[in-house]
C-alpha cells in the first residue's frame, strides 16, 4: 500500500521527516523517498529501493546532504516517489497513496493527443503519481487541480504536495485512508499514522475529513476545500494494516482488536460452539491482540506456541513470488515445543485471504506435535479483491480462498450466492466452513461476523468501507 509523512518548521526538520517516514515502513517494502526544501539550496530529493534494505538504513547516508525547514516523504509499494514537478503552477514535490483503476483511460483521454509523455514503471504502466500531477496541472491553481484529480480518478487518491512555502495535503474523496496533522512549538507535521509524529514531539491537532484539502505552514494550517459529508474509511486498517498504537477517526487499533476478539468469543459461547482447548493463541503478529481479547472473554489461557523471527524478515507477504512468500513465512516460524506437543490449540488470525501461508502454518503446528488446531478469523470471509486501495498483488477474486472453495463447491452458480456463503448460519455458509477445514487441515473454523466487526470498530457503519467482504464500498 504505502504511507507518507511531512513536516514544516521554523528550524531544520530533516530528522523529523526521516524518522516520520521510517515509522510507515509497515505499510510497504518496495520504495522509499524524501523531498526537502531549503530557501538557499532549493529542492533536494532522493529515492531508494528498500526491498532488501530498510528505509532507515538506505537513507541514513543521505541525511548529511539534506537541509531544509520543510519536507515530505513516503513509503511506496508501487512507483518511485516523491516526484519533482515543474509546471505553470510552479515547482513542487508530490507523493500519493491510493489506487487509480482508470489510469490508462485517463492517460489516453487527457494526454495522448496533447503530446504529453509519461515515465513508465518497470511494468510498462503509467506512473500513478506522475499521472496525478498531470491532472493537477490541468487547472489554474493547485486547489482546483487537486479537486479535478480526485473527481477524475476511479478508486482513491490521497495526495501530499510540498511547495516553496507550504505543505498541501488532500485526503481521498471518500476518506478511505487517514490524514492527521500534528503540532509542536516549532511547527506542524502531516502523517498517515498519528503515532509517527507523537514520537517526534508533536501532539494531535487535526484529522482531515473526506476529500478535504488543507494548507500547512510552520505557523498553522487552514482548510482550502471543505470536507465532504460521505466517508468510507477502510475497516481493514483496524483489522490488519494499522499499527497497534494508531488511531483512526478516534478509534485506537489495539483496543479495537481486543474488542473484536471479545465479541467473537462472546458470540461463540452464546452459540455453544466454543471448543475445549488448552490455549488460545494469535497468529503473529497482527492476530495476537484479537486472540488476547478472545482469551480474556472466554477465560481460556493465552499462550504463544510459536513466534516469528523478524530481525532479518520483518514481513513475509510482500515478495512478489508466492513460493518465496511461502518459504519466508515458513522460515520465520519458531516453535515453542512445550506449548505445542499434545496440546489442543485455538488460533486467531487477523484474516484469511489466499490461505497459502496459513496452510503452511497448520502443517508446521502438526509437525511440531499439536493435538488439535482450531482456527478463527477476526473478520468475515474475504469475497472481493479491494478496488479502492493497493492492498494486494492478487489479480483476480478467484485468488481468494473463499471464492476458490465456493467455485469448487458449486461452480459459477455458487458465485451468485456470496452473501449466503458469508453467513455461517446458512447451509451454504456451513458448507464453506467445512470445505475450508478439510482443505486447510483445521479441526474447526470460525469467522467474525460483519456485524461483530463493525461493533468492534464502534463508528457508524455507513462510514466504513466493507467492500472486501460484501462488495459494498
Is the distance from CB of 79 to CB of 127 less than 8 angstroms? yes
What is the reported pLDDT for 119? 60
Q: What angle separates helix 427-440 from helix 401-410, to the nearest 10 degrees?
A: 110
Q: Is 442 exposed, middle or buried (0-12, 13-18, 19+ CB in 10 A)?
A: buried
What is the reported pLDDT for 355? 87
3-state SS, residue 234:
strand
Helix%, strand%, coil% for the chain, nearest 5: 35, 25, 40
Residue 199 phi, psi dihedral angles, 5° rounding: -70, -15
- How far, in Å, CA of 134 to CA of 234, rounded? 27
What letter would DSSP give residue 103? H
- How far, in Å, CA of 249 to CA of 208, rounded? 10
List Cβ neighbours of 30 (8 Å cut-off, separation of 6 or more): 49, 50, 51, 76, 77, 78, 318
List Cβ neighbours of 129 (8 Å cut-off, separation of 6 or more): 79, 81, 82, 83, 94, 95, 96
3-state SS, residue 179:
coil
- How far, in Å, CA of 314 to CA of 332, rounded? 9
- How far, in Å, CA of 335 to CA of 309, rounded? 10
Query: E strands of 167-220, at which residues?
Result: 167-170, 180-183, 187-191, 203-207, 213-216
- How far, in Å, CA of 382 to CA of 466, rounded? 10
Q: What is the DSSP string of 402-453?
A: HHHHHHHHHGGGGGGGHHHHT-TTSHHHHHHHHHHHHHHT-SEEEE--HHHH
Question: Residue 78: which of 38, 29, 40 has the closest Cα?
Answer: 29
CA-angle at 466, arms to 465 and 472, nearest 5°? 90
List Cβ neighbours of 31 (8 Å cut-off, separation of 6 or more): 47, 48, 49, 50, 75, 76, 77, 78, 79, 80, 81
CB 382: neighbour CB atoms within 10 A? 23
Buried b / exposed e across 193-222, counting CB within 10 Å, b at 16+? bbbbbbebebeebbbbbbbbbbbbbbeebe
Query: Domains along the chain?
Result: 2-230 (3.60.20.10), 251-470 (3.40.50.2020)
Q: pTM score, two decimals?
A: 0.91
- How far, in Å, CA of 454 to CA of 466, rounded? 9
Tens digit of pLDDT at every position of the chain (473 positions): 899 999 999 999 999 999 999 999 999 888 999 999 999 999 999 999 998 788 999 999 999 999 999 999 999 987 899 999 999 999 999 999 999 999 989 988 877 666 566 665 545 678 899 999 999 999 999 999 999 999 999 999 999 999 999 999 999 999 999 999 999 999 999 999 999 999 999 999 999 999 999 999 999 999 999 999 999 999 999 999 999 999 999 999 999 999 999 999 999 999 999 999 999 999 988 899 999 999 999 999 999 999 887 666 555 445 556 677 666 666 778 899 999 999 999 999 999 999 888 888 899 899 999 999 999 999 999 999 999 987 655 568 999 999 999 999 999 999 999 999 999 999 999 999 999 999 999 999 999 999 999 999 999 999 999 999 999 87
What is the reported pLDDT for 325? 63
Residue 211 phi, psi dihedral angles, 5° rounding: 70, 0
What is the reported pLDDT for 123? 58
Q: Is 40 exposed, middle or buried (0-12, 13-18, 19+ CB in 10 A)?
A: exposed
Amino acid at each position: 500500500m504505502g504511507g507518507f509523512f511531512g513536516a514544516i518548521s521554523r528550524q531544520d526538520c530533516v530528522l523529523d521527516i526521516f524518522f516520520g517516514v521510517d515509522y510507515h515502513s509497515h505499510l510497504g517494502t518496495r520504495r522509499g523517498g524524501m523531498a526537502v526544501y531549503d530557501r538557499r539550496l532549493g529542492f533536494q530529493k532522493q529515492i531508494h529501493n528498500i526491498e532488501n534494505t530498510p528505509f532507515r538504513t538506505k537513507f541514513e547516508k543521505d541525511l548529511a546532504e539534506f537541509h531544509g525547514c520543510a519536507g515530505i516523504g513516503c513509503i511506496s509499494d508501487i512507483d518511485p516517489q516523491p516526484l519533482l514537478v515543474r509546471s505553470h503552477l510552479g515547482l513542487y514535490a508530490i507523493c500519493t497513496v491510493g489506487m487509480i483503476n482508470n489510469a490508462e483511460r485517463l492517460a489516453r483521454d487527457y494526454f495522448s493527443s496533447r503530446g504529453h509523455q509519461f515515465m513508465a514503471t518497470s511494468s510498462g504502466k503509467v506512473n500513478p503519481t506522475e499521472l496525478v500531477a498531470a491532472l493537477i496541472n490541468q487547472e489554474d491553481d493547485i486547489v482546483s487541480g487537486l479537486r479535478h484529480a480526485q473527481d477524475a480518478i476511479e478508486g482513491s487518491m490521497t495526495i501530499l504536495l510540498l511547495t516553496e512555502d507550504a505543505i498541501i495535503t488532500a485526503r481521498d474523496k471518500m476518506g478511505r485512508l487517514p490524514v492527521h496533522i500534528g503540532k509542536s512549538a516549532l511547527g506542524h507535521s502531516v502523517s498517515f499514522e498519528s503515532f509517527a509524529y507523537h514520537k517526534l514531539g508533536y501532539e494531535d491537532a487535526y484529522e482531515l475529513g473526506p476529500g478535504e484539502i488543507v494548507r500547512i505552514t510552520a505557523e498553522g494550517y487552514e482548510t482550502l476545500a471543505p470536507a465532504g459529508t460521505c466517508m468510507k474509511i477502510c475497516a481493514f486498517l483496524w483489522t490488519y494494516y494499522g499499527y497497534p498504537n494508531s488511531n483512526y477517526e478516534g478509534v485506537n487499533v489495539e483496543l479495537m482488536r481486543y474488542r473484536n476478539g471479545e465479541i467473537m468469543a462472546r458470540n461463540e459461547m452464546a452459540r455453544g460452539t466454543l471448543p475445549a482447548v488448552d490455549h488460545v493463541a494469535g497468529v503473529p503478529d497482527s492476530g495476537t491482540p484479537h486472540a488476547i481479547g478472545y482469551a480474556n472473554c472466554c477465560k481460556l489461557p493465552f499462550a504463544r506456541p510459536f513466534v516469528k523471527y523478524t530481525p532479518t524478515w520483518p514481513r513475509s507477504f510482500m515478495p512478489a513470488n508466492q513460493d518465496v512468500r511461502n518459504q519466508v513465512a515458513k522460515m520465520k516460524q519458531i516453535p515453542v515445543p512445550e506449548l505445542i506437543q499434545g496440546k489442543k490449540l485455538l488460533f486467531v488470525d487477523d484474516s484469511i485471504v489466499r490461505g497459502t501461508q496459513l496452510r503452511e502454518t497448520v502443517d508446521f503446528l502438526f509437525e511440531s506435535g499439536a493435538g488439535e488446531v482450531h482456527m478463527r478469523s477476526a473478520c468475515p470471509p474475504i469475497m472481493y479483491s479491494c478496488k479502492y486501495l493497493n492492498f494486494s498483488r492478487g489479480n483476480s477474486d478467484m485468488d481468494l480462498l473463499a471464492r476458490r472453495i465456493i467455485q469448487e463447491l458449486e461452480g459459477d452458480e455458487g458465485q451468485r450466492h456470496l452473501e449466503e456463503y458469508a453467513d455461517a448460519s446458512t447451509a451454504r455458509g456451513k458448507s464453506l466452513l467445512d470445505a475450508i477445514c478439510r482443505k486447510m487441515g483445521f479441526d474447526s473454523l470460525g469467522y467474525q461476523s460483519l456485524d461483530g466487526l463493525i461493533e468492534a470498530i464502534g463508528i457508524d457503519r455507513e462510514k466504513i468501507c466493507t467492500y472486501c467482504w460484501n462488495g459494498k464500498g
